Amino acid sequence: MRPAAPTTASGPRAVSNPMFDPFWARVNEAGITVVAHAGDSGYSSNGYAVDGFGATFSGGYGPSVKAFHIERAAYDFLITLSFDKLFERFPNLRIASVENGSEFLPDLVRKLRSYNGRMPGYFKQDPLELFRQHVWINPFWEDNPVEIAQIVGADRVLFGSDWPHIEGMPQPLDYLSELTGFSDTDRLLIMRDNVRGLTKLAA
């Protein structure tokens, strides 16, 4: 799914809104993995760029604030799952963030810790620990995998090879050079076993 709030008859609602609990109950029971994949999440650049994923040749190719929408959408999507206590309601959920990068993770962690401290009693369980249990992250190749593993654990980092998409590399195994600080066991987790564990391939 897109990391976005679905449009309902009552307007946009977060996917963790209780109105969607029948969906999450079925996912929780089935044990399937829900993938939040980069897409047009409906964010506006407020005039700083042409919105949407439609092709445009005006101005040529160059950097744009629109690129920030990908990670901002993933940030909003994932932290709202925690704020709405979705993982407390459905303890078997597995969420994989794919092609959204990971630059948002350090701030997301700070926010979860901050709100857990500011609102004693709101969360029945530590929201950061629940996040680490239920969320897998597929970083961009230029993201720091060591930092990501320190935040969520090496068992929650997913290698992506969907080149020419933005998180991939022309030669996928070149990514091994980014993992020199990891043990052989953790490299295997990141490059293969974490994904296998989220699919029927694990069987």
Give the pLDDT confidence of 159-183 residue by residue, as tens digits: 988 788 776 789 999 999 999 999 9
- Asked whether the beta carbons of 138 and 104 are under 8 A apart, the reply is no
CA–CA separation, 179 vs 2, rounded Å? 29
pLDDT at 203 over 60: no
pLDDT at 194 over 90: yes
Q: So what's the pLDDT on residue 51?
A: 67
CA–CA separation, 31 vs 13, rounded Å? 24
Binned at pLDDT 50, 70 and 90, residue 42 comes out as low
Tokens of 163: 């080149």
Q: So what's the pLDDT on residue 41?
A: 62
Give 162 or 47, the one with higher predicted confidence.
162
Q: So what's the pLDDT on residue 162?
A: 79
Domain spanning 7-202: which CATH class is it, in words?
alpha beta
The 8-class DSSP code of residue 124 comes to S
Q: So what's the pLDDT on residue 38?
A: 79
